[in-house]
Amino acid sequence: MFRLLLTVLLVPTLVPVALALKPSKEYKVRPEKYQIKYEEQSISTPDGATLKAWYFPTDKARAFEHIILSHNGEGNMADVLPRVTQLTSYGFNVLIYDYRGFGESSDFEIDEAMYIYPEFTTDLQAVIDHVGAKYTGNIHLYGFGIGAGLSFGVGWHHKKVKKIVADSPFTSLAQTKQILAAQGINVKLPDFGYDKKHEPTFALDGNPTTIRGVQIICGGAEPGLNEKVYKELQKKNKTLVSIHVIPNVKNDNTFENNRDQYIKDIVAYLQK
């Protein structure tokens, strides 16, 4: 009986858990650990929030190419530093930031059962405006998880964004909730305030401004937000939207499966 109980306690991942926001205010590691040059910055939003950001300038040839990286709503921006170090090594300047309620950004009450907040679109818009005002050159967006949906939905309309890389983005919030529910994963959506034009499905109904392309990344073994779902999305604009499938992995393992190749694929797309 004790052995059976112990087995149950050791395998909680067999039971579906809610996909939710999991903010952390503490940075477990700072860029100094990787011995890379960076600038700590604060970005103000139009509604009064202050976002903490780290900017990593490159010393390579592509000094006028900037990537804004939006994370998946788990932990904080310190968790994406391994991605940053690889991107800067290819000659991209990279800025990472925390949504309000995460890291050292402004306090913001977060219900951890919530999938996303409308305020995060305001945050990303402010970050893009900040980079556009402060630096010269092209701005590209790269996000994963909810950061992918934000990058897609917000970036599609922004006149300063050139290319977008979206790793496992939500499509529309309603469809995504339905897809996750079919997997036994229940999420809460905002009751109001999330502008539909910032949901990728509806963003594609509008004409892009300066966008030269969106690359969607997904895992080939993903049962939910997978290639089939994204191909339906792609039908709205086959000229600008492409899909890159990473074989034999789910969406939560696209980067860790082969970090070097993952970054090489992103760089190749941005350099086209």
Residue 13 has pLDDT above 70, yes or no: no
| φ/ψ bin of 74: left (φ > 0), alpha (ψ from -120 to 50), beta (otherwise) | beta
- The residue that leads in pLDDT, 209 or 136, is 136
| Domain boundaries, given as residue ranges, for the chain | 37-270
pLDDT tens per residue across span 68-120? 999 999 999 999 999 999 999 999 999 999 999 999 999 999 999 999 999 99
Q: Would you say 78 and 28 are in contact if contact means Cβ atoms under 8 Å apart?
A: yes
Superfamily of domain 37-270 in the CATH hierarchy: Alpha/Beta hydrolase fold, catalytic domain (3.40.50.1820)
Q: Would you say 224 and 250 are in contact if contact means Cβ atoms under 8 Å apart?
A: no
Q: Residue 34: its pLDDT value, please?
A: 80
pLDDT tens per residue across span 108-121? 999 999 999 999 99
Residue 195 has pLDDT above 90, yes or no: yes
* Global confidence as pTM: 0.92
Residue 16 has pLDDT above 50, yes or no: no
